[in-house]
Amino acid sequence: MAAFGMKGNMEMSRARVLVVEDFVSLRRFICSTLAKNPGLQVIGEASDGIEAVRKAEELQPDLILLDIGLPSLDGIEAARRIRKLSPASRIVFVSQESSADIVQEAFRTGAMGYVVKTRAGSELLEAVEAVLHGRQFVSSAASSDFACTTDRQTLNPHREKAVPGLVPRQAPVTRNHKVQFYSDDESFLSGFTRFIAAALDAGNAVIVIATESHRNRLFERLEAKGLNVEAAVEQGSYVPLDVVDTLATFMVNDLPDPARFQKATGDLLDAAFKATKGKPPRVSACGECAPFLLAQGKEDAAIRLEHLWDEIARTYDVDILCGYVLESPQREQESHFYERICAEHSVVHSQ
């Protein structure tokens, strides 16, 4: 990509960018992605809406990458205020939301681009280039119902139809991200068996991420309950995955990479929603990825991964159960970590 021209006689100058995202790991990913283009310069970062407005007024950036779900002031309202205080700044929303109503509302603020976070890895630089050259950009993951009616309609011609199950609901989603602390392997397997059996009985698709030993023993227990697990696997309603192989799809330098995580989970959920039989369609997921990282001494990685799963639970109709085999003495010794784990979940159980 060539260096971007921004202001007439400054055609070869670097475009000055303000990045607004409250999730630290994703903000770092966005900044590192922008750093791949020598024509871009990140001059500021912000983690909430009020700070974004203040920094936009102070820095007068050429471009602002703006999340919608921000604390203190949401991105839509922040954009409205920024347009008054820094009218020359071009805005690209980078958001989890993909529904037509929200995308349209974003463009009504005067924004010129919209990237769904699950596509940020492949579309962010393309969107930035388009907007800095005066063209609009809409993510391929945005709802196919969206139609921009502004005069400068140059939308992405390769936009795909979003999978209904993966489009965040306009009504509030009940966050269902549970953590269960088990005293031993036996209680772990019993808890996961109940969770999986209940989900399959309800017509949900189930994603299970576990060690080979646990996957095999769960298969036996589910079969003993009268469930035809082999048929469920063939139909795609039961998806057993290896914890090591799954982590390899999104771990970078011993930490979960947000964009890779969103791509990996997006593909999994896409397929799972298609296999659901329940009405409305719903997906359940249980696993031990974060506990596996904790067992390797990677506490920060485990917490970050739980946070990423929590974002999935807050956005989509997905029931999530995380299982830790952790004895009481361990919990006392690692009380700080225990509290951090609990904070990332909607419900905490122990047995």
Both 215 and 147 in one domain: the answer is no
Q: At 212, which CATH number? A: 3.40.50.300
77 and 203, same domain (yes or no): no
Is residue 1 in some structural domain? no
Same domain (yes/no): 346, 250: yes
Residue reference for tokens 């809406």: 49
Q: What CATH number is given to the structural domain containing 94?
A: 3.40.50.2300
The answer on 201 and 121 residing in a single domain is no
Q: Give yes or no: residues 189 and 332 share one domain.
A: yes
pLDDT at 11: 41
Residue 47 included in any domain:
yes
- At residue 283, the 3 state secondary structure works out as strand
The reported pTM is 0.54
- What are the two backbone dihedrals, phi and then psi, of residue 83, each rounded to the nearest 5 degrees? -60, -30
pLDDT in tens, 149-190: 333 333 433 333 333 444 444 445 567 889 888 888 999 999
Picking from 162, 190, 220, the residue at the C-terminal end of a domain is 162
Q: Which of 162, 197, 214 is the last residue of a domain?
A: 162
If one counts the domains in the chain, the total is 2
Same domain? 122 vs 261: no
CA nearest 20: which of 80, 83, 93, 89?
93
Give the model confidence (pLDDT) of 261-281 as tens digits.
988 888 888 888 888 887 778
Residues 345 and 315 in one domain: yes
171 within domain boundaries: no
- Alpha-carbon dihedral 284, 117, 80, 143, rounded to 10 degrees: -70
Q: Where is the domain boundary, 139, 162, 185? A: 162
Residues 13 and 139 in one domain: yes
Cα 48 to Cα 67, 72, 85, 128, 311: the distances in Å are 9, 6, 17, 21, 17
Tokens of 9: 């006689």
Domain membership of residue 117 as a residue range: 8-162
Same domain for 321 and 221, yes or no, is yes
3-state SS of 151-219?
A: CCCCCCCCCCCCCHHHCCCCCCCCCCEEEEEECCHHHHHHHHHHHHHHHHHCCCEEEEEECHHHHHHHH
The mean pLDDT values, 10 residues at a time, for the chain of 351 residues are 41 82 82 92 95 96 94 92 94 87 89 87 91 90 50 36 43 73 89 95 94 95 94 92 94 91 87 84 92 90 91 84 72 60 80 57
Q: Give the per-residue pLDDT at 102.
A: 87
Residues 134, 210, single domain; the answer is no
Indicate whether 57 and 151 sit together in one domain.
yes
